[in-house]
Amino acid sequence: MDHRQPPSVSHFDHCPWLFEKEATEDQRAAQRERQRSLGGDNEIGERCYVAESAAVFPDLLRLGDDSYIAAHAYVTGDLTTGTDCTLNPFTVVRGTVELGSAVRIGAHTSLLGFNHSTAPDRPVFRQPHTSRGITVGDDVWIGSHVVVVDGVTIGDHCVIGAGSVVTKDMPAWTVAAGNPARRIRDRRETRRETGDGDVLARFADTARAQAADLLARCWTGDRYVDRPGAEPTVRAHCDAVEIADLLLGTAPEQLGSDEHIERLSALQDKETGLVPEFGERVPPMDADGFIGEGAPLYHVLSVGYALDLLGAALPQPVHGVRNMTADQLITRLEGLPWRDHAWGAGAWIDTWATAAHWNLRHTDGDGMTPGSLEALFGWLLTRADPWTAMWGSPSTATGRLQVVNGYYRLTRGSFAQFGVPVPHPERVVDAVLDHARDTRWFGAGRENACNVLDVAHPLWLCTRQPAGGGGRDDGYRSAEIRSWAERQLTATLARWQDGKGFGFGPGTAGPGPEAGLQGTEMWLAILWLLADLLGRSDALGYRPRGVHRPEPGDACTPVG
C-alpha cells in the first residue's frame, strides 16, 4: 500500500505539469472551480492548470489544451494561447498578448503588450495607454528574466536567451540574446564546432535535471551546508539560491521564496549593515568605521546578490561604506597589502564597491558620502601598473597569482559592476595569458575554480571593450584566448559529478575537491564565461545573474 501524501496545491502551483497525473479528485474539483472563478468570456481548454497563487485578472483569456499558468504569475489584459503553452512561476503577461502552440515562457519573464504615452503636458501616470500587442509564434522558448516590449513579434521556432530585452521583431528560427536582444544565429544552422554546442546543451540539460537533488543533498532540514558533513554557512545558503536561479529559474524548493528572503534579511546586523557568519558577531570596526577582513566582507556580495535574485534587497545600507569620506577611503586604499597579498586588497575593494552599489540602490543614488566613489576610481586609474594595467606586485613564490586573482576581485566589484571600462585591456590580456601558462596553478590536476575564474573573467571583460577586440575573431590575441578557453571548457565539463555537482578543486583556499555548492556555483559561471569567449554560451541556455553576472548592475535604481 502506498502511504505517501498527495502533493499539495503549492507543489502543483510550482510544478503544474504534474497535476494531470498526480492530483486527487478533490484537487481536480478545486481546480475546476478555480478556472470557473475567472469568469467572463474566458475559455480554458482540456488538461489546463491555473495556479491558486497566480494573480489572473484578464479581460479575455483563451488557454489552449494542455497549457498552464504557474505560481505567482500576473496576467491581465487579453491573453490567447495555442496548445501546450507554459507560463512558468512569476511570469508577467499584460496587455494584448497572443501565443502560438508549444510556447515556453521562463520564470520571471515579462511580456508587456501595452505602453504609456510620454507627452510632456502631463505626468506619466496620467498618460493614456497604447497597445500594439505582442505576438509569439509556434515552438518558441523564451528564457527566464526576459522582457518583451509592446509591438514585438517573435516568429516560429525562436529561442530567446535568459535575461534578454526584446525590443524588435525576431524572424522565425532566430536564436537571440542580450539587452537589447540581438540575433546570434539561425536555429537551423549546423554548428562549425563539430557538435560542441550539443555537448554544452546536453550538459545544461543534465545539470538542470539534477539541480533539485544536489540542492537537497546540501540541506540539513534547517540550513544549507556546502557539502554533506560540513557546517552550515551563510555562503552555502546564498550559493543554493544562485544555483537554483541559474538552472531552475526559481528559489530553492526547501523554503518558500518569502522565507528565503526573511531568513537572509534577518542576518544583517542593524548597527553596521554587515552580515556575520552563523554563531559569530560582527568584528569591531576600524578607525574609519569599516572592517578589513573576515566573512562579513564576502557576505556583502553573497547575501546582497542572493536577495537580489529573490526580488528583494538588504534591509538597510552598509553603514561603514556609506559614511566613509574620500580621505578615509584613500588612506585605506594606500594601506592595503598590495605587495604581499594583492588578492586580499582586491577582495576588500570588491566588497567596498559592492556595498556602495547596494547603498546607491537603497537611496536612489544619494547613499554615499560625496566624492568617495569618485575617489575610488580616481585612485585605481592612477595607480594601475603601466606594464600590466593591474595592481600589486608578483613574487618568486607565487608568480602573478596574487595579482591576477586580485585583479578579478577588484574589477568585478568596481569597473565591471559600475560599467566603467578597465584601463589598458590589451596589457591585461598579456599579463593574464602569461599567468595562465604557470604550471604551478594550471598544471594537470592543479586547477581550482578560483584560479580558472580569475583568468576567464578578465579575458572576457577585456575582450568586450573596443580596445580589446570586442570578442571578434580578429581581436587582440584572440586565437590564444580561444585555445585556452577550449582546453578549459573540455576540462570543466569533465569535472561534473552526477547528482553532486562540481568540486571546487585542489589548494589551500576554498572547500577542496569534494562536490558542493560553492564549487557548483563557481564552475557553472566559469562554463558560461568560457563558452561565451568561444561564441557558444547560448547552447547552455542560462546566463549568470548573481555574483558572477557579466552585465553591470543598475546602481541608481531604488529598491529599498
- For the record, the C-alpha cell of 221 comes out as 532540514
Q: What angle do CA 433, 197, 416 make, to 5 degrees?
A: 45
- Burial class of 194 by CB neighbour count within 10 A (0 to 12, 13 to 18, 19+): exposed
Task: Indicate which residues carry an active-site annotation.
Answer: 116
Q: How far lies 554's CA from each of 60, 361, 418, 419, in Å?
A: 35, 8, 8, 9
- The grid coordinates listed for 185 are 544565429
Asked if 58 and 77 touch (Cβ cutoff 8 Å), the reply is: yes
CB 527 within 8 A of CB 489: yes
Cα 507 to its chain centre, rounded Å, is: 27
Nearest to 288 by CA among 362, 375, 418: 375
Phi, psi of 345 (to 5 degrees): -65, -45
Residue type, 57: F
Residue keyed to cell 535535471: 209
Check if the beta carbon of residue 361 is closer than 8 Å to that of residue 557: yes
Distance of CA 475 to the CA centre of its chain: 27
Contact 54, 61 (CB under 8 A): no
Helix-then-strand count for the chain, H and E: 18, 19
Task: Name the nearest CA neighbour of 13 among 46, 55, 50, 57.
Answer: 50
